[in-house]
Amino acid sequence: MKNSSNIDRRHFVKLGTLAASATLLPSASRAAETAAAPYSLPPLPFAAEALEPHIDAKTMEIHHGKHHQAYITNLNTALAAAPQKVGGQPLQSLLADLSSVSDEALRTTVRNNGGGHWNHDFFWKSLSPADKSGKPSAELAKAIDAAFGSFDEFKKAFAASATKNFGSGWTWLVSQDGKLKITSTPNQDNPLMKGVVKENGTPLLGLDTWEHAYYLHYQNRRPDYIAAFWNVVNWQAVSGRFKA
């Protein structure tokens, strides 16, 4: 006669092994899905509340966790459906040469959602808590004076462009052959997109003028949002881009 305690023990081990396997399957599946998705949401380089009172925490949480994530999700979904139509280019190179995307519908998705991902990642890195905002490097300050007359005149010109940017879009400080210029783009376009936007250049600073970037706190007062923006510009990052 078999020892019932041994049978119970073996039965318990078997059930435990099956349960462990069942637990691992979803995790493995999630890992595979994560590995298959080429883009993921990068964390904010500061706490959501770190830019207050200039940009509120709730806006940052929704803007980053909902809006930015949606662009990434849509981009990954489109690329997974037609990977052979894109090739293995980095996102910045892809946006700079959208004509390399053979399918028109996919090209539009990459432009809108790839642009949305790149623009927002760039935007977060352009911001800093007010006490760490700093000021332009000597080289950047000199270039700003040469292009706009003074730093104050640059801020006025940038704010005017951002205020007049109709509907949803972005306003940029770019470098064109070593000279600085202010330009605005609609939707999620940016100055990298050759053959798509009127003014190309290397982005140094970008301001999101979509309503979701400011409406919870500033409602329809875009000029107030723009004025507050200057308190949280990461000038070390902007100066580094100019130097590079």
208 among annotated binding-site residues: yes
Strands (DSSP E) contained in the chain are: 169-176, 179-186, 202-208
How far, CA to CA in Å, does 11 sit from each of 2, 15, 22, 237? 14, 6, 17, 61
Alpha carbon distance 196, 186 (integer Å): 11
Q: Distance between CA atoms of 63 and 119, rounded to whole angstroms?
A: 12
Give the other-Cβ count within 10 Å of 129's Cβ.
16
Q: What is the rounded distance in angstroms from the CA atom of residue 233 to the CA atom of residue 243?
A: 17
Backbone φ, ψ for residue 9 (5° rounding): -65, -45
**54 is an annotated ligand-binding site residue:** no
Q: Which residues pair with 183 in a beta bridge?
A: 172
Annotated binding site for Mn(2+): 63, 120, 208, 212
Annotated binding site: 63, 120, 208, 212
